Structure 1
């Protein structure tokens, strides 16, 4: 049975901290729904009503465009080991970029990872847990090094050029305001 909370309890915060993968979903008012897997130690609980994640360079920048348009975001985590659980965090998000005043404050929560593009802050409005009985068992064997190696090889200037070319608009043409 699904259960709703109005905040992240200490137990749910511990669950979040133990996960190696999470999923982020956003959608514009008109256009494609975006659902992205995330990893690399990039999610933090800031408070019982706020989370943040490090958004690394990707082929697109759908989340930032959707958040600019309407702010809606859902983050989902699920247990692949031991006790089954699915956790959904519904809220309003905003992308924090290096030029923004809160950048250093939020960046300090994360390890340094080459290719860091922005930080997504989510004000959690509703929390839902459900059983997760149908989620299979999987074992974590490590983070993929490919993105980090790619960004290190390109260097800051090369990554910036990639952002200019590939991350300025969503696939539906919405602006991201990354740069």
Structure 2
């Protein structure tokens, strides 16, 4: 016969999961104070920064992730702000696609063209991808304050062929805020 105490141990976890409280509703890093991190980012107060360089022919650089820059700060619920400068010449020796800064050329990539890191995103611009989620976001010269959704952010030029690029690349200043409430 099952005692009420044994039944309670079995039903309580099921009730918690069924009501949306518990593992499914708790962020991966409980206690992260996203509101405080957003406030600090919006006021440009504090944070931990990393200076990175995205070579034009390399294609991407990652922030966070195991052993990466800002690894301890990039957690779901934290906030990141990317500022970029520099330029990339697209299209090889004839520069047939032009030379553009991190905001790109003002055009949008065809959403059906999966040869680009961000189909439907800004052409020849700096974009980001949450590494494990595959979700893309526009970065450009100033990403503003973005809530971290994954432990690694891949920063990449939105181009379908990195090997024919040239010029100085993008100089990145990435700042992250991680607060616990």
Q: Give the TM-score category using the shorter length.
A: under 0.3
TM-score by length of 2: 0.24
TM-score by length of 1: 0.24
> Whose RCO is larger (CA < 8 A, sep 6+)?
2
